Amino acid sequence: MASATFALIVVDVQNDFCPGGALAVKDGNKIIPPLNALIDAFTVSNLPVCFTRDWHPPDHCSFRENGGPWPSHCVRKSTGAEFHPDLRVPENALVVSKATEPDKEAYSGFQGTELSSTLKRMGVTELFVEGLATDYCVKNTVGDALEEGFLVNVLTDCVRGVNLKRTDSATALKWMKVRGAKERTSEGVLKVINRRAAVMSSS
Protein backbone atom coordinates (compact mmCIF):
# COMPACT_ATOMS: atom_id res chain seq x y z
CA MET A 1 0.00 0.00 0.00
CA ALA A 2 2.72 2.50 0.94
CA SER A 3 4.53 2.02 -2.37
CA ALA A 4 1.51 3.04 -4.49
CA THR A 5 0.68 6.49 -5.71
CA PHE A 6 -2.60 7.46 -4.11
CA ALA A 7 -5.48 9.73 -5.08
CA LEU A 8 -8.54 10.83 -3.14
CA ILE A 9 -11.86 10.73 -5.00
CA VAL A 10 -14.63 12.81 -3.41
CA VAL A 11 -17.95 11.87 -5.00
CA ASP A 12 -20.74 14.42 -5.44
CA VAL A 13 -20.72 16.29 -2.12
CA GLN A 14 -23.07 18.89 -3.60
CA ASN A 15 -25.78 21.03 -2.04
CA ASP A 16 -28.64 19.11 -3.65
CA PHE A 17 -27.42 15.85 -2.09
CA CYS A 18 -27.07 17.32 1.41
CA PRO A 19 -29.83 18.14 3.91
CA GLY A 20 -32.09 20.85 2.48
CA GLY A 21 -31.24 19.92 -1.11
CA ALA A 22 -33.51 18.67 -3.88
CA LEU A 23 -32.33 15.06 -3.50
CA ALA A 24 -30.99 15.08 0.03
CA VAL A 25 -29.12 12.12 1.49
CA LYS A 26 -29.83 11.72 5.20
CA ASP A 27 -26.84 12.97 7.22
CA GLY A 28 -24.95 13.63 3.98
CA ASN A 29 -23.31 16.69 5.54
CA LYS A 30 -21.94 14.65 8.45
CA ILE A 31 -19.21 13.13 6.30
CA ILE A 32 -17.70 16.56 5.60
CA PRO A 33 -15.48 16.96 8.74
CA PRO A 34 -13.60 13.66 8.22
CA LEU A 35 -13.52 14.36 4.49
CA ASN A 36 -11.88 17.73 5.08
CA ALA A 37 -9.22 16.08 7.24
CA LEU A 38 -8.44 13.68 4.40
CA ILE A 39 -8.41 16.47 1.82
CA ASP A 40 -5.94 18.42 3.95
CA ALA A 41 -3.68 15.39 4.44
CA PHE A 42 -3.63 14.50 0.74
CA THR A 43 -3.04 18.14 -0.23
CA VAL A 44 -0.15 18.58 2.20
CA SER A 45 1.38 15.37 0.84
CA ASN A 46 1.02 16.60 -2.76
CA LEU A 47 -1.28 13.71 -3.59
CA PRO A 48 -4.08 14.22 -6.12
CA VAL A 49 -7.54 15.14 -4.87
CA CYS A 50 -10.43 14.76 -7.30
CA PHE A 51 -14.00 15.97 -6.86
CA THR A 52 -16.75 14.56 -9.05
CA ARG A 53 -20.04 16.38 -9.50
CA ASP A 54 -23.35 15.92 -11.25
CA TRP A 55 -23.56 18.76 -13.75
CA HIS A 56 -26.90 18.20 -15.42
CA PRO A 57 -28.53 20.18 -18.23
CA PRO A 58 -32.03 21.39 -17.27
CA ASP A 59 -33.65 18.71 -19.46
CA HIS A 60 -31.65 15.74 -18.17
CA CYS A 61 -33.15 12.29 -18.68
CA SER A 62 -32.88 11.38 -14.98
CA PHE A 63 -35.44 14.02 -13.98
CA ARG A 64 -39.02 12.95 -13.31
CA GLU A 65 -40.44 15.51 -15.71
CA ASN A 66 -38.44 13.76 -18.44
CA GLY A 67 -39.44 10.24 -17.41
CA GLY A 68 -36.54 9.62 -15.03
CA PRO A 69 -36.60 8.44 -11.40
CA TRP A 70 -35.34 11.58 -9.63
CA PRO A 71 -36.49 15.13 -8.91
CA SER A 72 -34.59 17.81 -10.79
CA HIS A 73 -31.19 18.20 -9.09
CA CYS A 74 -27.64 19.48 -9.61
CA VAL A 75 -28.56 21.54 -12.66
CA ARG A 76 -25.29 23.01 -13.90
CA LYS A 77 -24.41 26.47 -12.57
CA SER A 78 -27.24 26.32 -10.00
CA THR A 79 -26.77 26.65 -6.25
CA GLY A 80 -27.84 23.03 -5.86
CA ALA A 81 -24.98 21.89 -8.10
CA GLU A 82 -22.33 23.71 -6.07
CA PHE A 83 -20.12 21.81 -3.66
CA HIS A 84 -21.31 22.05 -0.07
CA PRO A 85 -19.93 25.32 1.39
CA ASP A 86 -18.23 23.51 4.28
CA LEU A 87 -16.31 21.20 1.94
CA ARG A 88 -12.72 22.28 1.36
CA VAL A 89 -11.89 22.27 -2.35
CA PRO A 90 -8.20 23.08 -2.95
CA GLU A 91 -7.38 25.43 -5.81
CA ASN A 92 -5.39 22.74 -7.62
CA ALA A 93 -8.02 20.02 -7.17
CA LEU A 94 -9.24 18.07 -10.17
CA VAL A 95 -12.97 18.68 -10.73
CA VAL A 96 -14.79 16.19 -12.95
CA SER A 97 -18.26 17.01 -14.26
CA LYS A 98 -20.47 14.06 -15.20
CA ALA A 99 -23.95 13.41 -16.61
CA THR A 100 -23.60 16.52 -18.74
CA GLU A 101 -25.57 15.26 -21.74
CA PRO A 102 -29.38 15.38 -21.70
CA ASP A 103 -29.93 11.79 -22.84
CA LYS A 104 -27.18 10.01 -20.87
CA GLU A 105 -27.17 9.05 -17.20
CA ALA A 106 -23.77 8.77 -15.53
CA TYR A 107 -23.63 7.70 -11.91
CA SER A 108 -19.90 6.99 -12.21
CA GLY A 109 -17.18 9.62 -12.25
CA PHE A 110 -15.48 7.56 -14.95
CA GLN A 111 -18.45 7.44 -17.33
CA GLY A 112 -18.07 9.85 -20.23
CA THR A 113 -15.10 11.60 -18.60
CA GLU A 114 -11.32 11.52 -18.86
CA LEU A 115 -10.84 10.69 -15.19
CA SER A 116 -9.19 7.31 -15.74
CA SER A 117 -6.65 8.53 -18.30
CA THR A 118 -5.91 11.63 -16.20
CA LEU A 119 -5.20 9.61 -13.06
CA LYS A 120 -3.07 7.08 -14.92
CA ARG A 121 -1.09 9.88 -16.54
CA MET A 122 -0.40 11.20 -13.03
CA GLY A 123 0.93 7.79 -12.01
CA VAL A 124 -1.98 6.97 -9.69
CA THR A 125 -2.52 3.29 -8.95
CA GLU A 126 -4.66 3.33 -5.79
CA LEU A 127 -7.83 5.28 -5.04
CA PHE A 128 -9.58 6.23 -1.81
CA VAL A 129 -13.24 6.86 -2.57
CA GLU A 130 -15.88 8.55 -0.43
CA GLY A 131 -18.92 10.79 -0.82
CA LEU A 132 -22.55 10.61 -1.87
CA ALA A 133 -24.37 8.42 -2.37
CA THR A 134 -23.14 4.96 -1.33
CA ASP A 135 -25.78 3.07 -3.31
CA TYR A 136 -25.51 5.05 -6.54
CA CYS A 137 -22.61 7.30 -7.51
CA VAL A 138 -20.08 5.91 -5.02
CA LYS A 139 -20.96 2.33 -5.97
CA ASN A 140 -20.71 2.98 -9.71
CA THR A 141 -17.52 5.04 -9.43
CA VAL A 142 -15.89 2.25 -7.43
CA GLY A 143 -17.09 -0.40 -9.89
CA ASP A 144 -15.67 1.46 -12.88
CA ALA A 145 -12.41 2.23 -11.06
CA LEU A 146 -11.91 -1.47 -10.43
CA GLU A 147 -12.61 -2.25 -14.08
CA GLU A 148 -10.03 0.37 -15.04
CA GLY A 149 -7.43 -1.54 -13.03
CA PHE A 150 -7.08 0.68 -9.98
CA LEU A 151 -6.76 -0.60 -6.45
CA VAL A 152 -9.79 0.84 -4.66
CA ASN A 153 -10.56 1.61 -1.03
CA VAL A 154 -14.00 2.72 0.18
CA LEU A 155 -13.98 4.84 3.32
CA THR A 156 -17.01 3.53 5.17
CA ASP A 157 -17.30 6.46 7.60
CA CYS A 158 -17.24 8.95 4.73
CA VAL A 159 -20.15 7.66 2.67
CA ARG A 160 -23.92 7.92 3.08
CA GLY A 161 -26.70 6.36 0.99
CA VAL A 162 -30.09 7.24 -0.45
CA ASN A 163 -31.53 3.96 0.84
CA LEU A 164 -34.78 3.77 -1.07
CA LYS A 165 -34.70 0.35 0.57
CA ARG A 166 -33.28 0.29 4.09
CA THR A 167 -30.54 -2.16 3.14
CA ASP A 168 -29.40 -0.49 -0.10
CA SER A 169 -26.17 0.97 1.31
CA ALA A 170 -25.17 -2.29 3.00
CA THR A 171 -25.90 -4.16 -0.22
CA ALA A 172 -23.84 -1.65 -2.22
CA LEU A 173 -20.86 -1.97 0.14
CA LYS A 174 -21.03 -5.74 -0.12
CA TRP A 175 -21.20 -5.46 -3.95
CA MET A 176 -18.07 -3.29 -3.98
CA LYS A 177 -16.20 -5.59 -1.59
CA VAL A 178 -17.02 -8.70 -3.62
CA ARG A 179 -15.55 -7.00 -6.70
CA GLY A 180 -12.29 -6.26 -4.92
CA ALA A 181 -12.67 -2.95 -3.11
CA LYS A 182 -11.24 -2.72 0.40
CA GLU A 183 -13.17 -1.16 3.26
CA ARG A 184 -11.24 1.37 5.31
CA THR A 185 -11.90 4.25 7.69
CA SER A 186 -10.73 7.83 7.40
CA GLU A 187 -8.75 7.48 10.63
CA GLY A 188 -6.82 4.52 9.26
CA VAL A 189 -6.09 6.25 5.97
CA LEU A 190 -4.94 9.42 7.72
CA LYS A 191 -2.38 7.37 9.64
CA VAL A 192 -1.06 5.89 6.39
CA ILE A 193 -0.85 9.27 4.64
CA ASN A 194 0.79 10.99 7.61
CA ARG A 195 3.29 8.15 8.01
CA ARG A 196 4.06 8.37 4.29
CA ALA A 197 4.60 12.12 4.61
CA ALA A 198 6.93 11.65 7.57
CA VAL A 199 9.04 9.10 5.67
CA MET A 200 9.30 11.33 2.62
CA SER A 201 10.23 14.42 4.65
CA SER A 202 13.03 12.53 6.40
CA SER A 203 14.49 11.07 3.22
- Give all strands of the β-sheet with 49-54 in edge-to-edge order: 94-98, 49-54, 6-11, 126-132, 151-160, 182-184
In whole angstroms, what is the distance from residue 158 CA to residue 38 CA? 10
Tell me the C-alpha distance between 182 and 198, whole Å. 24
Dihedral of CA 143/144/148/150: which sign?
Answer: negative
CA distance 16 to 21: 4
Given the residues 74, 98, 139, 158, select the one marked as catalytic.
98
58 touches 103 (CB < 8 A): no
Is 12 part of the annotated catalytic residue set? yes
CA separation for the pair 202, 151 (Å, rounded): 27
49: closest CA among 58, 41, 39, 57? 39
Q: Estimate the share of the chain in helix, then strand, then coil, as percent rounded to the nearest 5.
A: 35, 20, 40
Q: For this structure, is 98 an active site residue?
A: yes
To the query of whether residue 139 is one of the catalytic residues in this protein, the response is: no
In sequence order, the β-bridge partners of residue 130 are: 10
Catalytic residue among 54, 137, 139, 158: 137
Residues belonging to the active site? 12, 98, 137
